[in-house]
Amino acid sequence: MKNFISLSEIQEALSKGSTNCQSLVDYYLDRIKAHRDLNIYLEVFADDALSQAKLVDAKLKSGTAGRLAGMVIGLKDNICFEGHKVSASSTILKGFESLYSATVVERLLEEDAIIIGRLNCDEFAMGSSNENSAYGAVKNPRNPNSVPGGSSGGSAAAVAADLCQLALGSDTGGSIRQPAAFCGVVGMKPTYARVSRFGLIAYASSFDQIGSLAKSVEDAALVTEIIAGKDINDSTSSSVPVSSYSIAALPTEKKKIAYLKEYVESPGLDQEIKEKFLKLIEDLRAQGHTVEEQTFPYLDVMVPSYYVLTTAEASSNLARFDGVHFGYRSSNAHNLESTYKLSRTEGFGEEVKRRIMLGTFVLSSGYYDAYYTKAQKVRRLIQDRTEAILNEYNFVLMPTTPSTAFDLGVENDDPTVAYLEDIYTVHANLAGVPAISLPLWDSKKNMPIGVQLMGAAFKEQELFSFSKLLMTFKN
């Protein structure tokens, strides 16, 4: 069976009778088994997926199938699916089975999507390499000696390796877009509040957003349209009407695009990526688009303010995992205090513990104003400057990552060095706006390079439309 690039190709094959949903699921199950060495799936829902495929095939015959009939989807292991395990790739939730489904899962199933399994990720979505999982690192399908990115590394790798047609991930500071760039797939982070977070295991609640990793802009647009919208179970979800992202056509008007001087001149930006990015700017100008340089003086404080705020929220969100209510409980505990201490010490990985401690510190008496309050003020400055730019320009164009995928097992004396992998992606999360990573190029070493397009809040349709144009530059 061929590697289908889009759902429309799959549905054309289904309509011609050259395949059916059960055959599709069998195909993916075989590929998952053949690529076990990449450590992408934590669990495969083989029986459930085949049962769902049989139901969808029947609906296709009767003409009652939903819009996602034929779409086989993997879920990041922090998105709840009723009756199935979910662990956030952490020992502390080992064996935990969800009692309900996330809103995004319910909306996918209503449109006859087929969910095939749960995907490895950095523990509690904390990481940029997918090496922080309690179940081992995921390997990049393009080069198994390289990381796939994180935290949605399993989701990106699954799509890149054709182990599902599309995967859901979560993006707190780039956790969809960075692995999408490293693995060579499309990664979409919607506007904050555009997609319900109900059923997503929280990391940082004012940053987290569920999005898609796909082989095509068209698939990402369709799934975003289906999972977006107000949800009574998530009071932070927006009631702004959802546009028809799936019918977004190529733009007919020339666009005004900004790129940020500090981002292009950053010493950490790989020279090859910089050259390809500048060439793209010239190509867009040659097509008649206006592409202009703008200044953004907050690059140096972007990552520090992001980590102060997200770790503060994480220390609060992860307090519920205490060895008492649910999840892992230390067998060495002998009273209440030791239950808390030992369960959390043994259940959480090093990176999660590091971020909990940092978050607790910045919220503590005497340091709250020095760190947390100051970071919130910086966030406001970032939001205001971003809004000002997007009031003048349709989009902001930037690299997705400063480099291509790095090698597995690289150790730094300073663990915060890895945080700089998020230098270009945290911007959209701090500002709360949508951003998409597009796999436009390959490096001289045959590793994917992504470019990132950022738009104004709730302007996903315009973002998808121009993304289709950018994909015509793919080489």
Per-residue pLDDT, 417:
64
Q: What's the CA gap between 48 and 54, in Å, rounded?
A: 10
The structure tokens listed for 361 are 């510190």
Is residue 184 a contact partner of residue 91, using CB atoms and an 8 Å limit? Answer: no
The pLDDT value given to residue 357: 96
Tens digit of each residue's pLDDT (9 = 90 or more) over 41-78: 999 999 999 999 999 999 999 999 999 999 999 999 99
Catalytic residue among 89, 90, 151, 465: 151
Known active-site residue 255: no
Q: Does 276 qualify as catalytic in the annotation? A: no
Separation of alpha carbons 231 and 89, rounded Å: 26
Alpha-carbon separation of residue 404 from 75, 268, 324, 335, 423 (angstroms) = 25, 12, 42, 49, 14
List the catalytic residue out of 6, 146, 175, 243: 175
Residues 6+ positions from 12 with CB-CB distance below 8 Å: none
Could you report the average pLDDT of every consecutive run of 10 residues in the chain (475 residues)?
Answer: 94 96 98 98 98 98 98 98 98 95 98 98 96 97 97 98 98 98 98 98 97 98 98 98 94 96 94 97 98 96 95 95 88 93 95 96 93 97 98 98 94 69 94 98 97 98 98 90
Query: Regarding beta strands 435-442 and 448-455, do their DSSP bridges make them parallel or antiparallel, or are they unpaired?
Result: antiparallel
Q: How many residues are there in the chain? A: 475
Q: Does domain 1-475 have CATH number 3.90.1300.10?
A: yes
Q: What is the DSSP string of 351-406?
A: HHHHHHHHHHHHTSTTTIIIIIIHHHHHHHHHHHHHHHHHHH-SEEEEES-SSSPP
* Beta carbons of 231 and 106 less than 8 angstroms apart: no
61 is catalytic: no
Looking from the CA of 448 toward its CB, the CA atoms found within 13 Å total: 30
Report domain extents, the chain.
Answer: 1-475
| Closest alpha carbon to 148 in 124, 118, 119 | 119
